[in-house]
Structure 1
Amino acid sequence: MEMSRKAIPYTPNDKSLKDMTIMIVSTSGVHLKDQEPFSTDTAQGDSTFRVIPGDVRAQDLTVTHAAPKEHYNTDAPKEDINCVFPIDRLRELADQGIIQGVAEKHVTMMGYAMRLKQINEVTIPAVAKEVVRSKADAVLLTAG
């Protein structure tokens, strides 16, 4: 079977979950309330990303997303950000010893974007660098 050039190769993990630091990477449009919101211009979308500090308080986060409400209703995430960006749940897992800890930073972007070439060639490589620099052992991917 031939693998697509866009396929993500399987990377075996030799660490136990209790020894892993977890980073969130999300396309749910989460950002700090004092960060620039994602653009909701549906003609262009937004191919940028935001870095969220690992010690962020859930109440300091919000969601800006251009997807039509019938595709992604942001009301629930605005009430409890953990439904799309489970920062408090990761901390609980760390407190219980199920994971080693929560990464020092996380990365978010808006999944509803039309600039796919720019996302593939610029955004995703930049996000990948943030992930590598974070030294997290695993990434929890979430979407809106």
Structure 2
Amino acid sequence: MEMSRKAIPYTPNQKSLSEMTLMIVSTSGVHKVDQDPFSTDTAQGDVTYRVIPGDVQAAELTVTHAAPKEHYNTDAPKEDINCVFPIDRLRELAEQGSIQGLAEKHITMMGYAMKLKQINEVTIPAIVKEVVRSKADAVLLTAG
């Protein structure tokens, strides 16, 4: 079976989960309430991303997303952000010693955007740089 050129290469990890620092990367449209919301212009979508500080509190977060409600209903994440951005659950795992801790930042974007070429050529490489600079041992990917 031939792999796609855009496939993520297998990257073995030598650390146990209890030694790992985790970073959340999400397409759920989560952002801090004091950050610019994602654009809900469905004709264009939004190809930007937001950096979320690692010490953010769940109450400081909200969701803005352009996807139709039947595709992604944001009511539940607005009630409990942890269902799409499990910041509190990861902190609990760190307190229990199941993971080492959380990264100094997390990355979010809105997954409903029509400019796929721009996302692949501009947004994703920028996010990859943020992830590499974070020195996180692993990334937890979430979607809305």
Same-fold status (TM-score > 0.5):
yes
Q: Which residue of structure 1 aligns with residue 127 of structure 2? A: 127
Would you identify which runs of 4 or more consecutive aligned residues in structure 1 move more than 2 Å? none
Amino acid at match of 1:64: T
Q: Structure 2: how far apart are the matches of 1:22 and 1:7?
A: 22
- The answer to whether residue 10 in structure 2 is matched with residue 10 in structure 1 is yes
Q: Structure 2: how far apart are the matches of 1:20 and 1:4?
A: 29
1:24-43 paired onto structure 2 within 5 Å: 24-43=24-43
1:65-104 paired onto structure 2 within 5 Å: 65-104=65-104
| Unaligned 5+ runs, structure 1 | none
Amino acid at match of 2:47: S
- The answer to whether residue 109 in structure 2 is matched with residue 109 in structure 1 is yes
Give me the CA root mean square deviation.
Answer: 0.4
TM-score (norm 1): 0.99
SS of 1:141's equivalent in the other structure is strand
Amino acid at match of 1:97: G
Deviation at 1:3, TM superposition (A): 1.3
Q: Which residue of structure 2 aligns with residue 61 of structure 1? A: 61
Amino acid at match of 1:63: V
| Equivalenced residues, count | 144
| Unaligned 5+ runs, structure 2 | none
Deviation at 1:41, TM superposition (A): 0.1
Q: Which residue of structure 2 aligns with residue 23 of structure 1? A: 23
